[in-house]
Structure 1
Amino acid sequence: MSLYERKGFDAALAALPGVTFVDQWEAHIAKVGSKVFCLLSDAAPHRLVFKCGEDSFDILTALDGVEQAAYFAKRQWVSVVQGSDLTEADLFAYASRSHALIATGLTKKLRTELGIA
């Protein structure tokens, strides 16, 4: 299944600790500790939006189909359109990294409650 499809998105990201899903902003959103870490747009062409590190931001935005995410922090959030140069494995790896980046901002107590080491 593809991360660009709701079933694939949910199946892949639900494997990460402490993940919940909500529908808002005309999108399907994955959260950890009530903080967004990945978003799947409802409208075609489908897009994934996730947080990345500074170095990854520069690398990713140089690829076709990847750009700075609108409405998110100026840097370190990217929007990846379906059909981009990234493989499903790459997308999952970046979404997992986004989860880890966001989870580090949670309190130690909440990380423990969510099963995040």
Structure 2
Amino acid sequence: MDFESAKALCLAFPGATTDIKWGADLVFSVGEKMFAVTGDEVPAKGMSFKVDDDRFLELTDRPGIIPAPYMARNKWIYVEEANALSDDEAHALLRRSYELVFAKLTKKLQREIGEAA
């Protein structure tokens, strides 16, 4: 998983925004709801994001992937080693994280983001 290309992918999703929270964390959001978090350093050293409930245990059993600190109860993982996921799998998981969060937005906000895209 190339963390820098993952950051670029996150920004390419419709309505995606970034901001810095907690001092040094680069947060990717849609509709002001987080879907991915990484450090603001370049190159990034890891990335957290939401996964489907049924994939959480499978993914956190892999070397280099752990339950995300503070967010594991919400089924977030932290990829701490770049070789833990291929770029293709990482991109699919990040897209799914975005979709999971987007689906929880109000229908009105979903329409506004869709129209702006």
TM-score class normalised by the smaller sequence: 0.7 to 0.9
RCO comparison, higher one (Cα < 8 Å, 6+)? 2
Counterparts of 2:14 and 2:40, CA distance in 1: 24
Counterparts of 2:70 and 2:47, CA distance in 1: 14
Partner residue of 1:40?
38
- Give the TM-score normalised by structure 2: 0.85
Counterparts of 2:110 and 2:32, CA distance in 1: 12
- Give the TM-score normalised by structure 1: 0.85
Counterparts of 2:87 and 2:46, CA distance in 1: 13
- The 5 Å alignment of 1:1-117 reads 2=2, 4-5=3-4, 8-25=5-22, 26-42=24-40, 46-115=45-114
> Which amino acid in structure 2 is aligned with residue 66 of structure 1?
I
Tell me, what secondary structure is at the counterpart of 2:108?
A: helix
Unaligned runs of 5+ in 1: none
CA contact (8 A) 1:32 1:102 kept: yes
Q: How many pairs are equivalent?
A: 113
Tell me, what secondary structure is at the counterpart of 1:57?
A: helix
Tell me, what secondary structure is at the counterpart of 2:73?
A: coil
Q: How far did residue 82 of structure 1 move? A: 2.9
> Which amino acid in structure 1 is aligned with residue 49 of structure 2?
F
Unaligned runs of 5+ in 2: none
Tell me, what secondary structure is at the counterpart of 1:79?
A: strand
Q: RMSD across aligned C-alpha pairs, in angstroms?
A: 2.1
CA contact (8 A) 1:66 1:78 kept: yes
Q: How far did residue 41 of structure 1 move? A: 2.1
